[in-house]
Amino acid sequence: MKFRKLAASVRIALSALRINKMRSALTMLGIVIGVAAVIAMVAVGSGAQSRIKEQIASIGSNLIIVLSGSITSSGIRMGTGYAQTLTMDDAAAIPRDCDAAALACPVVRSGAQVVYGDNNWGTQIQGTTPDYLAVRDLRIQEGQAFTTQDVDGATKVALLGKTVVDNLFFGEDPVGKVIRIRAVPFTVVGTLVAKGQSPTGQDQDDVILIPITTAKKKVLGTSQANYAAVGSILVQAREGRTKEVEDQIRVLLRQRHRLQPNEDDDFTIRNLEEVFKAQETSASVMSMLLAAIASVSLIVGGIGIMNIMLVSVTERTREIGLRQAVGAKPRDILGQFLVEAVTLSLAGGAVGILLGVSASMLISHFAEWNVLLSPGAIAMAFLFSAFVGVFFGFYPARKAAYMDPIEALRYE
């Protein structure tokens, strides 16, 4: 019985809306724009958050960077990294003495011109250990990685990033080929899977990895006195313990460097997770702000529905009086006008979903922004449009339901 009444109310509502097609379409326009704006803005915000997460993953999981300290010369304070205060022994001690650290690898780096045949390319040379691949979440594309034995024997082997491969070999298989780094021949043992740009815009694939001992002895020309020194140490913290490992590293290195309590650290620790969390929070706030601004359009659309429904109630005053005269109860009339308002909202919501999804795809294509369509956001926008119909349609419906039947029948 209730279902039949509801079905009848829907038929009457659709009939009333068809009579004034243009007015109904213009009334729905506010809801259409509101739903489309919410979906598109949430998609843009979610895409930004997704991009930040990708960048965090490209840097490495749970990554802590320890940099050498600064020095003061003739009253001039140099920047971080000028003083060679970190050593390979420090790198070995971190995973051994800090239980929150899973892996640590020393790194030395320098720019160099690399030659293969008639081709050459200027790139970044990084001397490190095999653990570097695990710390930075790097994978082998072709060939294999260098080993601990290569580090111990200072073997002249190299791993190439994709940018280096593209600019030196032009489609030729690089594995097994010999390249020259500062006139020193190196055998390419493998290539790396592309990582793309870092959050700072640096090309992470424009790099050559070689054993750290080889870099020091045969490429960088490190003196015997500074042979143990490294520029930085990359540390992979155990899951959920990045802050803890940061504190443990600070205590350990101060002990190893024999620093007194009143002395400053001669190293710098950078916790990238905190930086990226701040960026992710900013993106989340931006997404919520965009959605909130877009939601204003839904409220404006709801006000439009209320206005039109009030006009409709006025126009159909005699009809309402006749219904009351033949036995229609207030709840029947209330339900009829609420169904009309909700029908307007839901129809506008359905069109708004199509428009919002299309707008998101166009933004992604033409603006080249990452967008991420969320089924939850689409469902929420659609349900909110129905709520707007009920909320803003209730007052006109109630006015119609409790109208004086005698006055309604007299209305001209």
Q: What is the residue extent of each domain of the chain?
A: 2-55+278-410, 84-265
Would you state the pLDDT for residue 90?
A: 93
Would you state the pLDDT for residue 78?
A: 47
**Three-state DSSP class for 328?**
coil
Q: Show Cβ contacts of residue 384 under 8 Å, excluding neighbours closer than 6 positions.
A: 35, 38, 295, 298
Q: Show Cβ contacts of residue 175 under 8 Å, excluding neighbours closer than 6 positions.
A: 142, 143, 188, 189, 190, 191
Would you state the pLDDT for residue 56?
A: 63
Would you state the pLDDT for residue 72?
A: 46
Block means of pLDDT (10 residues each) for the chain, length 412 residues?
67 73 81 85 78 65 80 46 78 93 92 91 93 90 94 94 93 92 93 80 88 90 69 89 90 91 87 68 72 76 82 79 78 80 85 89 79 82 82 83 72 60
Q: Show Cβ contacts of residue 2 under 8 Å, excluding neighbours closer than 6 positions.
A: none
**Three-state DSSP class for 187?**
strand
Would you state the pLDDT for residue 73?
A: 45
What angle in degrees, to the nearest 10, is found between the helix axes of 375-401 and 272-315? 30
Residue whose C-alpha is closest to residue 168's, from 109, 111, 114: 114
143-157: buried (b, 16+ CB within 10 Å) or exposed (e) per residue? bebbeeebbeeebbb
Name the token pair of 202.
Answer: 């640096």
Are 28 and 351 a contacting pair, CB within 8 Å?
Answer: yes
**Three-state DSSP class for 77?**
strand
Residue whose C-alpha is closest to residue 40's, from 347, 373, 384: 373
Residue whose C-alpha is closest to residue 129's, from 165, 93, 98, 91: 91
Would you state the pLDDT for residue 410?
A: 65
1-31: buried (b, 16+ CB within 10 Å) or exposed (e) per residue? eeeeeeeebeeebeebbeeeeeebeebbbbb
